[in-house]
Structure 1
Amino acid sequence: MTRPSNRTESTPSANTPPGSEVIFLGTGTSVGVPSLGCECAVCTSDDPRNNRTRCAIVVRLPEGNLLVDTPPDLRTQLLREKIPLVHAVLFTHEHVDHLYGLDDLRLFPFRLGHAVPLYCEHHVEARIRMVYDYAFSDRVPTHPGSAPQLSFEQITHDSFEVLGVEVTPIPMQHGPHFNVLGFRIGGFAYCTDTNHIPADSIERLRGVDTLVIDALRFKSHPTHFNVEEALEVINEVQPRAAYLTHICHDLDHGIVEPQLPDNVYLAYDGLRLPLPQ
């Protein structure tokens, strides 16, 4: 069944704290869209929804802004969405397109009054300490802000609390070599960069209102869901609404979205959704 792509977003429920929302900073694949040197119809499109920076979201909560991943486009994304401060960061995994904007956090400790807390698994912490070794040096800094001030909160597959909300990790696989995390906050779940969600993790998604899920393209891929596979997961979980993310230039927003089931949409940079309970 198809439906028109223009629609009205759902409104927050009565028990959603005012201002609680999810902001899509980026919805594109690792090279972004447009991709360098490509002159396809999507890369040259004048539809702003086809302009996709690397994947990240911000969850705006009463106690602060919770960032999920630090892509290379982070500074541009935060300026575009007028987000002046990040209070904490969750990491799904350690790949370049989800990590290499971390240095853009340097200004935030001046306003926070403390290091930026990073919530991640042990292997992600190890990668951050290696790539950003200058942030953890014993050398006396030449001046404040010369390196990002970071603190680690190691997470496992158990639920934890950050900025006043409970976060439930969703263990997933990202191809044959990488274990990654999705996250659930209340009735919202974010599951990017995966091509397999184990049965136990599917159970953690039961009852979710809004599901965001990886759907790279129509063709199969060794480390990402394609559209058909993402729709299979959506059909199993049965959320009220689902949004496809980590999209490459194979998917033209205006053409593909009307072909999707009535409750499934293509996410786009700058999309804002109320945080469901």
Structure 2
Amino acid sequence: MRVTLLGTGDTTGTPTVGCDCETCLAARERGIERTRFSVHVQNERTGESLLVDFSPDFRHQFLTQEVPLPDEALVTHIHFDHLDGLGNVYRLLDDLSVHAADEVDPVTGESVADAIRSKFDYLDRISVEDRTPFESFRACGLDVTLVPVVHPPLVCYGVAIEDPETGAKLSLSGDSTYAIPEESRDVLRDPDLLLAEAIVPASVCEYHPIGGDDYDENGVARTFGTKHMTREGAIALGEELDADETRLVHVAHYYPADEAFEDPLAVDGEVYEL
């Protein structure tokens, strides 16, 4: 399994348009990007590729990274930075299966799968496949399981992707607070690689209107506000899940410049062989 991090940034990416903060300036000087979130997973046994989430930066990512266009895809939730890139497949692909959860969101009154159908009804070459959380399905020769996480007010899902022949496993936290349900954690557990959302360091919680949450025994916030994990929360999640390696993604430009590009914070273009 070959995993390429196409996009490792949050909803504005780094550098952020029009921003001259020290972190964005440092990113420009170093030629580093964190575009909006997307992950490419290639099954090297079959030659097929699975795309996790459709970044609005889809075109740029596939022009700059040496990966093939996807054979299948999945969507974790309907926020624009994870979904709106789907429109980029117009005229590029003859057909594409897009997997998404069938659980009805009480806020929107429709599932992620139904939201994709209604928003992209003009894309007659895609087929949306309804998937039930916790029920594994096969995509690109890999076993894939969607699990609920905590990203209010909308439903959102983490993902476990496993090669049934080699046992290689990739887990993604999804956009979530640290308070991922135990049943979901059990599915994500013991990955070779965990991609955990870490939008900001815990020190930034003081600037959020409601601060942080899910404090550890030392009083460090593992959740930023109500929707996202802190760096400290993501690292703790990796330890709790016994991940062989944890890389932090969905990273905002609010990290101090001297911390923004240090391990385990990921940047676009990283490649992992599992």
- The two structures have a TM-score, normalised by structure 2, of 0.79
Residue 192 of structure 1 aligns with which residue?
A: 174
The equivalent residue for 1:208 is 191
User: Hey, what does 1:118 align to over in structure 2?
Assistant: 98
- Give 1:252 shift: 5.2
Q: Deviations over 1:217-261 (max 9, x none)?
A: 013232110112212212211211100000000225763565x6x
Is 1:170 aligned to residue 147 of structure 2? yes
1:103 Cα offset (Å)? 1.5
Q: CA deviation at 1:173?
A: 1.3
What is the aligned counterpart of 1:74 among 58, 74, 78?
58
Q: How many angstroms apart in 1 are the aligned matches of 2:257 and 2:38? A: 19
**CA offsets per residue over residues 116-152 of structure 1, 9 Å max, x none?**
101012312222222223235xxxxxxxxxxxx1112
Which residue number corresponds to residue 43 of structure 1?
Answer: 24
Residues 67, 236 of structure 1: alpha-carbon distance in 2 compared, 3 angstrom cutoff: same
Q: Is the 8 A contact 1:56 1:67 kept in 2?
A: yes
The one-character-per-residue Cα deviations of 1:77-136 (angstroms, maximum 9, x if unpaired) are: 0111133421001111111001111121123434xxxx2101012312222222223235
Residue 166 of structure 2 is matched in structure 1 by none
Letter in 1 for 2:142: V
Higher relative contact order (CA 8 A, sep 6+): 1
- The question of whether the paired residues in 2 share the 8 Å contact of 1:192 and 1:246 is answered with no
Residue type at the aligned position of 1:42: T
> 1:57: which partner in 2?
39
Counterparts of residues 100-115 of structure 1 (less than 5 Å) = 100-110=84-94, 115=95
1:266 partner SS: coil
Q: Distance in 1 between matches of 2:69 and 2:36?
A: 19
What does residue range 1-277 of structure 1 map to in structure 2 within 5 Å?
20-45=1-26, 46-49=29-32, 51-62=33-44, 63=46, 64-110=48-94, 115-122=95-102, 123-135=111-123, 149-157=125-133, 158-175=135-152, 177-186=153-162, 187-195=169-177, 196-218=179-201, 219=205, 220-251=224-255, 255-256=259-260, 258=262, 265-275=264-274
Structure 1 contact 86–108 (Cα < 8 Å) conserved: no
- Could you list the structure 1 runs, at least 4 aligned residues long, displaced by more than 4 angstroms after superposition: none
Identity of aligned residues (%): 31
Equivalent pair of 2:101/2:146 in contact (CA under 8 Å): no
Q: 2-side partners of 1:74 and 1:248: how far apart? A: 19
- Write out per-residue CA displacement over residues 161-181 of structure 1, whole angstroms, 9 at most, x where no aligned residue: 111111122221113x12211
- Is the 8 Å Cα contact of residues 108 and 116 (structure 1) preserved in structure 2? no
Q: How far apart are the structure 2 equivalents of 1:25 and 1:188?
A: 15
Bigger mean CA deviation after superposition, 127-136 or 74-83: 127-136
Give the distance between the partners of 1:24 and 1:134, measured in 2 at CA: 29
Superposition CA RMSD, Å: 1.8
TM-score, normalization by structure 1: 0.79
The 1:191–1:271 alpha-carbon spacing in structure 2 relative to 1, beyond 3 Å, is same
